[in-house]
Structure formats: C-alpha cells, structure tokens
Amino acid sequence: MANLTLVQGDITAQSVDAIVNAANSSLLGGGGVDGAIHRKGGPEILEACRALRASHYGKGLPTGRAVATTAGRLDARWVIHTVGPVWSATEDRSGLLASCYRESLAVADELGARSVAFPAISTGIYGWPMDDGARIAYETVQAARTGVEGVRFVLFDERSYETFAARLP
C-alpha cells in the first residue's frame, strides 16, 4: 500500500514522478489546477494533449478515466490527466470520482512512477464537497493494488488542507 502524505501548497511546485491534473474532458486546458499546470509546464503539455485527442479521444476523455503526457517544464516526469465528475446533489457520482484516483494510479503503474501527487479532484470548479472528496480519495488509494510507493495529496488552501488532515487514515 502506498504511503500517504499531505501538503498544503501548489501542485505545480512538487517534485514527484507524476503530477495528477484535474482536467476536463476536452484535454485542452481550463481553470484551477489545469490552468496552473499548463501555465507552468509550458506548451509541450498542451501539444501532447492535442495529439492524444486527435489519436484516441476525439469525443474527449471520458469522466473517471486517466491518461499521461509529458510534464513539460514541471519537476516531474509525467502529468496524468484525469476527468473528475461534476458534483450532483441528486445523483451519486462517487464511483466516478473513485475511478479517477484508481485509474490515475493504474496509469502511474504502467509508467513505473513511484511517487504521485494528487490534487483534490472535483472539489474546485466541479463543486464536490471537500470532506467527501477526501473520504473517497483515501478509501480508493488505500484499496488500490499499486506499485506507487508515495502518494502526496496537495491541498491548495488551509481549509482544504485541514479537511484532508482531519480525515487522514
């Protein structure tokens, strides 16, 4: 089982094998973590995303799936892009959010990544409640059979850090 750590800060400043991006299905960039990763990682990442769209994901990367590209100028070998579900008060989409963590770790395994940094997927623009997002993140990562040795959750602000810290297994 991967060792879990928490840090408060910017995911684009992490030195790890793979940085997970809370992307959108277009893979063509967006706000939040996605915007920060493309800004700091440079145009190589977007080029790789465009190529993936053209070759495999003409209709977009489905929610819950994950795919890797170069990390460009980031201090990482890969960015793993995953598409979180938009929060719904009427429909249980937690299986899709769990899938993001599971699929990202599966991609990390295929790459041979040993250390992976995750943001709190879906908890920004997509509106997922932070404490439920933390619960799903921990449950899924703990249940995963993975060769990844270190999973670092990177929480952007103090409040999200405290919420994740309170639920840390």
Query: What positions carry a catalytic annotation?
Result: 34
User: 1, 10, 15, 51: which one contacts ligand ADP (CB under 6 A)?
Assistant: 10
Nearer to ligand ADP, 22 or 105 (CB): 22
The secondary structure of the chain as a DSSP string is -PEEEEEES-GGG--SSEEEEEE-TT-S--SHHHHHHHHHH-HHHHHHHHHHHHHT-TT-PPTT-EEEEE-TTSSSSEEEEEEPPPP-SSS--HHHHHHHHHHHHHHHHHHT-SEEEE--TTSSTT---HHHHHHHHHHHHHH---S--EEEEEESSHHHHHHHHHH--
Is 64 a binder of ligand ADP (CB under 6 A)? no
Query: Candidates 53-61, 68-76, 122-130, 144-152 — which segment interacts with ligand ADP by CB under 6 A?
Result: 122-130
How many residues lie near ligand ADP (CB under 6 A)? 21
User: 20, 49, 113, 120: which one contacts ligand ADP (CB under 6 A)?
Assistant: 120
Nearer to ligand ADP, 11 or 18 (CB): 11
Q: Which amino acid is at 41?
A: G
**Other Cβ atoms closer than 10 A to 112:** 12
User: 78, 101, 138, 156: which one contacts ligand ADP (CB under 6 A)?
Assistant: 156
Query: Candidates 7-15, 54-62, 145-153, 161-169 — which segment interacts with ligand ADP by CB under 6 A?
Result: 7-15
User: 16, 22, 45, 74: which one contacts ligand ADP (CB under 6 A)?
Assistant: 22
- In whole angstroms, the minimum distance from the beta carbon of 167 to ligand ADP comes to 14
